Amino acid sequence: MYVSIEKEYVARIPPEKLSGDYLKAISDVAKTSIEGHLIDLEEQNYQNQKAFIISVMSVEPVGEGTIVHGDGGVYQSIKYNALGYLPEMQEIVDGFVTSVKEFGAFIRFGPFEGLLHKSQIMDDRIDIDLTNQRIVGKESKREIKVGDKLRVKIVSLNLASSSVMDSKIGLTMKQLGLGKVEWLNQVKKEKAR
């Protein structure tokens, strides 16, 4: 789910940026420091959750900057508005297969990557072909390979650190309306007949 975020942050403006437009320097540093990171949300509706900052939309300084002895930079408190992505339990997302392993497939959706365990792929026994990076149903002959687009549901979520790479997200596609997008389109065509 996408959310609008309003937070405060202390940005360090390096000395080489102080000779130009100070407001532009603050904005540039805020975007570099905040975009692409997970942040904790304190808002009442989202307590103890993390959001991935997609874009900082506006920045304004709060008070005057502080100079620390021995550091040529200025520490400026700022208030910013940003667009964030907040993955939620039971959320249905579209993603694509990035790799196939013995235990399942990794699916990238937005900035995140989750594990689609082999037990959560289909109601069919499966063969995992690591050489060709694909998973094949023994009876159905349905196949998933690297690059395929899937619709999956988030069933476990642990965004414990500030790094997207350390996130642990579990996915399933065993429920109605989930699966490889081509399979879902095929079902729609058959129902339309």
Domain endpoint, select from 85, 107, 122: 85
Tell me which residue range forms the domain holding 112.
92-192
pLDDT (tens digit, 9 = 90+) per residue, 95-115?
999 999 999 999 999 889 999
Task: Name the DSSP class of 135.
Answer: E
The CA-based angle 166-172-177, given to 5 degrees, is 135
15 & 32 share domain:
yes
Name the H helices within the chain: 22-34, 181-192
When pLDDT is cut at 50, 70 and 90, the band that residue 47 belongs to is: low
Residue 125 predicted with pLDDT over 60: yes
Instruction: Give the chain's mean pLDDT.
Output: 90
Of 43, 69, 85, the domain-final residue: 85
pLDDT of 44 higher than 60: no
Cα dihedral 29→31→33→35 (10° resolution): -170
Statement to judge: residues 55 and 127 lie in one domain:
no
Res 42: pLDDT = 77
Residue 49 pLDDT = 82
Burial class (CB in 10 A: 0-12, 13-18, 19+), 134: middle
Q: Which pLDDT score, from 0 to 100, does residue 145 have?
A: 95
pLDDT > 70? residue 161: no
Are 80 and 27 in contact by the 8 Å Cβ rule? The answer is: no
pLDDT > 70 fraction of the chain, expressed in percent and rounded: 96
At 72, list the tokens.
């040529």
